[in-house]
Structure 1
Amino acid sequence: MDLKKQLDNDRDAFIEKNKKFIYDTTYNICKKRLQWENDDELSIAMIAFNKACDSYNENRGNFFSYARVLIKNALINYFKKTSLKTYLIFNNDEDLNYIDLKNSLNAYEIRVENEKRAEEIKLFSIELSKYNISFGELSKFSPSHKDTKDNLLNIAIRCIDNDEIMIYIRRNKMLPIKQIAVLTGAKKKLLEKWRKYLISLILVLSNDEYLYLKSYLDLKVGEVIEG
């Protein structure tokens, strides 16, 4: 039985089967021993896991990676709202250590952000390789002038809105230069010169998983400027 059927047919059994995953994920975040009947953290994690079951689809990638992110985010929100000033951590010797909750939370959030960025770049690099482009060379093939960046961004958006062009790009791993020139009014010379950069823009903007990469695109969306 595939995952979707498990979620639809017997949610309670699926959650019960994965209580160890929920516990381990929560423990790795809280770094303290937890009890199902006593600790709010596990209840929050359970609710987040159930939410993951509700909202998951195959486009989100691996289910358990997705569920882990939702659990982490739910616990972070809980830590922010709690009035606790310190957070209790047990080390392997069961000695008690206290750390400042705010400092711990900030460090954890930074680590999670960095992990997400690294994973996103890894996935993007794999996708770029299918187009014979390496992530490391993008800076070399990126325009320095803002007008050119804005122009290429708007060309990319026009391409994404055109199903025929997107099918061609996905199938052939290249740009249909002539077709894009007709659609946008851009010169073929411009499209050829910035081919790799334009492909990277299209890949990022057409994939909802690339949240961090999109945040780096500080470009103005407007009319296409003929170049």
Structure 2
Amino acid sequence: MITDREQFIETNRDFIYKVASSICKRRLNWENDDELSIALIAFNKSIDTYNKQKGNFFSYAKMVIKNSLIDYFRKSTKNLNISLDDEDLISFEHRSSIERYEIEEENKVRAQEITLFSLKLKEYGISFSDLVSNSPKHKDTREELINVAFLVSKESQIIEKLTRTKQLPIKQICLLASKNEKFIEKWRRYLIALILILTDEDLKYIRSYLNIKVGEIND
């Protein structure tokens, strides 16, 4: 008797194949390639470990398959009894496959995040071109503004007001950071962008790209 789980797995064999093939960067064969067996086991595991808080099931299953295959690649290249040249070649091919896949996935997420950031900025009447034309040229000024943004990011009342009104509460920020209004007003757009990057969990890649860590103030 075929269970619901078996039927679900059978229905999604094409999905499992496409994910595994994409990660391995080559065509696979169900009869001969261990990678498909690993992917099938990982898909079955994802059914057991999935919950709605982890988002879309198939996105989650794809991540589980990817991690399982990466673990398999790493272990297999250590345990294969082959010549040095062959081992180097296989290790290189596996490593290259992993790196290409991870770069592609990371680029997709970054592109989505940049689009999201652009939409969030529009809510404040700011465009990317505004940021380019209103960005400080000097390192000292940039660091000073990052310090201000860090201070603001820790103040929930200011963040709530900014989010609600879409306006930078300049006087409050001046008192908090001991800056004059002229300075804060001049860099208003840039500061809003920095505060969004520091406080919005959907902008982790951009924060990482700028090498900004929440909670750390530049000395």
Asked if Structure 1 and Structure 2 have the same fold, meaning a TM-score greater than 0.5 normalized by the shorter chain, the answer is yes
Q: Which amino acid aligns with 1:32?
A: L
Match of 1:185 among 145, 168, 178: 178
Picking from 14, 19, 24, the partner of 1:25 is 19
Secondary structure at the aligned position of 1:39 is classed as helix
Distance 1:153 1:204 in 2: 11
Alignment length (residue pairs): 197
Q: In structure 2, how many angstroms separate the alpha carbons of the residues matched to 1:170 and 1:14?
A: 45
Distance 1:77 1:136, change over 3 A: farther
SS at match of 1:82: helix
Are 2:36 and 1:43 equivalent residues in the alignment? no
Contact 2:134 2:190 survives alignment (8 Å): yes
Q: Secondary structure at the match of 1:212?
A: helix
Which structure 1 segments of 5+ residues have no match? 1-12, 88-98
1:111, distance to aligned residue in structure 2 (A): 1.6
Q: Following TM superposition, by how much is the alpha carbon of 1:107 offset from its aligned partner in structure 2, in angstroms?
A: 2.2
Aligned residue type for 1:162: E
Question: Percent identical across equivalent pairs?
Answer: 38
Distance 1:189 1:69 in 2: 48
Q: 1:159 aligns with which of 152, 158, 161?
A: 152
Contact 1:48 1:74 in 2 (8 A): no
Q: Is the 8 A contact 1:27 1:34 kept in 2?
A: no
1:69 deviates by: 4.1
**Counterpart residue type for residue 39 of structure 2:** E
Deviation at residue 206 of structure 1 after TM alignment: 0.8
Distance in 1, matches of 2:70 and 2:64, equals 10
Cα deviation code 1:155-200 (max 9, x no counterpart): 1121121111111111111211111111111111111111111111
Q: CA deviation at 1:76?
A: 3.1
Deviation per residue, 1:64-114 (Å, 9 max, x gap): 445544543443343333327678xxxxxxxxxxx9333333322222222
**Do the aligned partners of residues 33 and 211 (structure 1) sit closer, same or farther apart at CA in structure 2, a change above 3 Å counting?**
farther
8 Å CA contact 1:149, 1:219 repeated in 2: no
Q: 1:196 to 1:16 in 2, by over 3 A?
A: farther
How far apart are the structure 2 equivalents of 1:71 and 1:160? 37
Considering only aligned residues, what root-mean-square deviation do their CA atoms show, in Å?
Answer: 3.5
TM-score normalised by structure 1 residue count: 0.69
**Contact kept? 1:160, 1:206, Cα under 8 Å:** yes
Unaligned runs of 5+ in 2: 81-86
CA contact (8 A) 1:27 1:33 kept: no
The structure where strand makes up a greater share of residues is: 1
TM-score normalized by the length of structure 2: 0.71
- Note the C-alpha offset of 1:149: 1.5
The structure that has the greater radius of gyration is 2
Separation of aligned partners in 1, 2:122 and 2:177: 27
Tell me which protein shows more helix as a share of its residues.
2
Q: Decide whether the 8 Å contact of 1:45 with 1:75 is kept in 2.
A: no
Distance 1:171 1:15 in 2: 49
CA contact (8 A) 1:156 1:198 kept: yes
